[in-house]
Structure 1
Amino acid sequence: MTDKLILKNMIFYGYHGVYAAEKELGQRIEVDVEMVLPLLSAGANDDLETSINYVEVYTLIKELVEEKDYNLIEALAHAIAETLLSAYSLEAITVRVRKPNPPVGGVMDYFAVEINRRPRSGRPLYTEDDPSGMG
C-alpha cells in the first residue's frame, strides 16, 4: 500500500527558459508534487508531527520557482525533488512542472516535464535496467 501527500496545480511566476524573453518577462509556472511516505500514524493520531506541513512544502517550492532561474524546467523539477527529499523522510517523489503558453509560435496547452526520484540516489524511480524501481 502506498500513501501519498499531493500538492496539485500550484501556480507561480518565474523567469525560467533559454530565450531572452522568458528571462526578461517571466511566465506562469505550474507545479504538482506527489510525495510517497507512510501516513498511517498521521491518520490514526491526527498529529501534524507525524506528517508533513503542506505550507512548508509550498514555501520551499515557491522559493525555488520565484527566486531562482533555470534554463530548463527539467532543472527546476530536479531542484524541487532534491530539496524536498533533503527536507523530509520520503520514500519517493514525483514532480511535474508545466509552462502554459510557451513561446513556440503555435497554440498548445503547455510544455511539461515529470520526474520521479528516490532519496539519496538522485536517479529515476524507474529505469530500463530496473523497471521495478527496487534498486
Structure 2
Amino acid sequence: MDYIHLNEMEFYGYHGALREETVLGQRFRANVSLAVDLTEAGVTDDLQKTVNYAEVFDVCRSVVEGEPRKLIESVAEEIASSVMGRFAAQVKGIRVVLIKPDPPIRGHYASVSVDITRGQFV
C-alpha cells in the first residue's frame, strides 16, 4: 500500500461542546493520510492516476469550516466519510488526526486530538 499525506492543515471552525467555542470559534489542525496505489501515477506521471491532494484539502476545509459540531470525533468522521466517498475509486483507507490546539481546558498541554482510521489502512 502507498500513502498520500496532507500534514498540518489549519482551519478555523466553531466546533465544541461549550457555548464559547461555537460563538468565538478556534483553530483546528488536521493530518490526513490516504491509502492508495500510486504505482500507475508514478510510472505515467499522470495526475489522473492519483488523488489530487488539493481537492482533498478542499474537502477537509469545507468540513472543518462548515456546520458546527459538538465533538471533534464527529468532525473527523465527516472528513473520513467525505473523502472516502468522493475518491472511492482510488482511496482504500484513510487516517484522520484532528487536533484542537487551544481547547478551553485549564492546565498545561500542547493540544488534544482524535485519531481515526477507516477502510483498509495498513
TM-score for both structures, normalised by structure 2: 0.94
CA contact (8 A) 1:101 1:108 kept: no
Q: Size of the alignment, in residue pairs?
A: 120
Describe how 1:49-64 pairs up with structure 2 within 5 A.
Answer: 49-64=48-63
CA separation in 2, counterparts of 1:71 and 1:105? Answer: 19
* Amino acid in the other structure paired with 2:92: E
Gaps of 5+ in 2: none
Percent of pairs with identical residues: 36
Letter in 1 for 2:98: V
CA offsets, 1:26-84, max 9 Å, x none?
00000010000100000110000000111111111101101221100000000000001
TM superposition score normalised by structure 1: 0.85
RCO higher in structure (CA 8 A, sep ≥6): 2
3-state DSSP of counterpart to 1:107: coil
Distance 1:32 1:70 in 2: 19
3-state DSSP class of the match of 2:65?
helix
RMSD: 1.3
Show the counterpart of 1:103: 104
Unmatched runs of 5 consecutive residues or more in structure 1: 120-124, 126-132
SS in 2 for 1:109: coil
User: Which runs of structure 1 show a deviation greater than 3 angstroms over 4 or more consecutive aligned residues?
Assistant: none
